[in-house]
Chain A
Amino acid sequence: GAGVSQTPSNKVTEKGKYVELRCDPISGHTALYWYRQSLGQGPEFLIYFQGTGAADDSGLPNDRFFAVRPEGSVSTLKIQRTERGDSAVYLCASSLTGPLGDTGELFFGEGSRLTVL
């Protein structure tokens, strides 16, 4: 597709349930990022992939959060034992990577809005 695609756009779940959020980046973008945006706040960094590997996962809040990108394209953010505080919009972004490893402009998807009841 032309842009970053995220599914589902909306997800309502109950406390304690498991959730998966999917991101399909722009074709050819090797760098992929997950951010979380709470209501009235700016996005906060969660995890960054360069190809298939997680280059930086320092933003993941705890071990209930995990993300994969097995083939270097689509990524899945997985949240176990969801809590009400996990309610937020989860944004995915992708960018090109230069020859020196520097990443370019981030292109964001529309986000997956997660509500934990």
Chain B
Amino acid sequence: QKEVEQDPGPLSVPEGAIVSLNCTYSNSAFQYFMWYRQYSRKGPELLMYTYSSGNKEDGRFTAQVDKSSKYISLFIRDSQPSDSATYLCAMSPNNNAGNMLTFGGGTRLMVKP
């Protein structure tokens, strides 16, 4: 079993829908949680960064962390065709330790106009 599990999708939604993306993990040492967006044939780019449990909102994006359930979510409101990409969750036991990041396999999202 992988340390970080993520449904690969694809997830297809109509424009304007609310999207929910999720990851589960098994390592209780993870304290820092990130969501990356990766367009086709591009590198991942950081979308959201949260520490420990709780919610964080940035525009149309909301990240939630539930450490008791080892479950994290990314919500996208008013989804746009430009949101079509692969979304990767990533976790680390230490702050901004790029050598300790564990990524999920990614969920491919398609937003149809």
Contacts and interface: CB of A to CB of B under 8 A. Distances in A.
Nearest to B103: A42
Contacts, number: 63
Interface string B84-113: 000010100001111111011110000000
Q: How large is the interface on B (under 10, 10 to 19, 20 to 34, 35 or more residues)?
A: 20 to 34
A45 interface: yes
Contacts of B41: 110-111, 113
Contacts of B8: 40
A95 B96 contact: yes
Given A40-B8, A42-B88, A42-B103, A108 B98 contact: no
Contacts of A42: 4, 6, 88, 90, 103-106
Interface residues of A, number: 28
A64 to B, nearest CB: 20
A45 B90 contact: no
Interface of A: 4, 31, 33, 40-45, 48, 55-56, 58-59, 91, 93, 95, 102-111, 113
Which 7 pairs from chain A and chain B are nearest by CB?
A42-B103, A108-B43, A48-B99, A56-B99, A106-B98, A33-B98, A42-B105
